Amino acid sequence: MGKPTGFMEYERETAEAARPKDRVKHFNEFHVPLSKEKQRAQGARCMNCGVPFCQSGFDIMGMTSGCPLHNLVPEWNDLIYNGNWEQAYNRLKKTNNFPEFTSRVCPALCEAACTCGHYGDSVTVKENEYGIIENAYSQGYAAAKPPRVRTEKTVAVVGSGPAGLAAADQLNKRGHKVTVYERDDRVGGLLMYGIPNMKLEKHVIERKIQVMKEEGVVFETGIDVGKDIKAAKLIKDYDAVILACGAKNPRDIQAPGRDAKGIYFAVDFLAATTKSLLDSNLKDNKYISAKGRKVVIIGGGDTGNDCVGTAIRHGAAKVTQIEMMPKAPDERTDDNPWPQWPKICKTDYGQEEAIAMFGQDHRIYQTTVKEFLKDKNGNVTAVKTIRLERKKDEKTGRIVMEEIAGSESKIDADLVLIAAGFLGAQKYVADAFGVTLNERTNAATAPGSYATNVKKVFTAGDMHRGQSLVVWAIREGREAAREVDESLLGYSGLSVQ
């Protein structure tokens, strides 16, 4: 363990964030990392519990508790405390291909399950992970390590999000020749164009991609498989194909007036901003600007929060966020005990910024859209909403949200962003390969398998499991890689956990 009395001697300490009113002036990351000495103290707080829930990664009541990658958290916390940073990096990389990503964007399921958090403050697992990987780059531990032996087997990976990259990284380390196809102009998928720069600066992705290239992975960008290149050609030219194309169908809001101008899906809003930022520092004006506009964001999740932070950085005049569900409690309730994921109210960075900029909480709970109002030119001018209440469905016993008659209201808006989640894989890719989709429009496989109904074709990530977290995508990519490796060689030397 770290230090036997560490959790009693040291308080939890995390990286300090810049003040909201300062950080909204730019699109860069805004946390100041802890010093090595402070990170050692945080590592000392880890007690190497008899049952390390932090690395368990199992479901409790439909929610994941602990890390799905089964990161060896107590081990590398101890190594940090003892100053053995290189070995800490080696232990971290055994289970996680991309700690430079997860240490920035993961919601830290590990910390929510930390035993120290049962009665006090959890260990700063995410903070320590960040320290390990950034130190590894600065000291050269994270440099390229090409495989010594090649197998002459070839694999095509379609999609360069976290699942595709994890699969490619694993299979390349095994010695297979891997080519990754990406339809966008830059590699990274969701990481590049779905997550704003202030959460994950894109040079961090490019740094890792450069390492993968030096290790032998080939990246082909601007190629939309199923349109620019036939699926049959990939199946013919490669020994295996992995489809990791994500869950790219945004859930729409079907209400009268939906055809009004000024209504966009959140993913398009975020992607356009990032691309313009990278291409020209927003000088090309090829993005959906929120400057001076009254913005209504439909959806209270992470994507909705990202839209809030991005709109404020554009210079929005006002931001309002609508959420169907009731406001979560500020503290755990009795029916949500540790080590379950805490179902409590989360005020994320964008929401903090909105409160600081506008002087009040901008979130409206238990509300949904009834109609989009527009002017004579077809531009959206307002959103008509109605309040909801929780009720128990007498037939199914499920809790449902029902409209409250007479509770209609109106919110002025000239820009509406729909951040209501995603519904599944885009059908044209599956159709191009002849891959069957299940009832949730995800690529269908047998339980515990990543092989599709088409010989040589596998799937992983959100395309397989539906919209989820980056850590789940990485785990799926690793598991799919192992299955592909077994299909190519008859056995696998790749570890999953």
Of the two residues 394 and 212, the one the predictor is more confident about is 212
Fold for domain 6-139? Answer: Fumarate Reductase Iron-sulfur Protein; Chain B, domain 2 (1.10.1060)
Helix axes 85-95, 73-81, angle to 10 degrees: 170
CATH 3.30.870.10 correct for 263-418: no
Q: Is the Cα torsion angle 109, 113, 118, 123 positive or negative in sign?
A: negative
Q: Supply the DSSP string of 152-217, one letter for each residue.
A: --EEEEE--SHHHHHHHHHHHHHT-EEEEEESSSSTTTIIIIIS-TTTS-HHHHHHHHHHHHHTT-
**CATH 3.50.50.60 residue ranges for the chain:** 154-248+423-489, 263-418
Is 225 within 8 Å of 234 (Cβ atoms)?
yes
Measure CA of the first residue to CA of the last residue in the chain; give whole Å. 21
Per-residue confidence (pLDDT) for residue 449, from 0 to 100: 97
pLDDT confidence tier of residue 497, bands split at 50, 70 and 90: low
What whole-number percentage of the chain has pLDDT above 90? Answer: 92
**Position 61 pLDDT exceeds 90:** no
pLDDT digits (tens, 9 = 90+) for 76-112: 999 999 999 999 999 999 999 999 999 999 999 999 9
CATH 3.50.50.60 correct for 154-248+423-489: yes
**CATH 1.10.1060.10 residue ranges for the chain:** 6-139
pTM of the entire predicted model: 0.96
User: Cα–Cα distance between 392 and 100 in angstroms, integer?
Assistant: 44
- As beta bridge partners, residue 443 has 437
Is 290 within 8 Å of 442 (Cβ atoms)?
no
Mean pLDDT of the chain: 96
pLDDT digits (tens, 9 = 90+) for 217-227: 999 999 999 99
Is 195 within 8 Å of 105 (Cβ atoms)?
yes
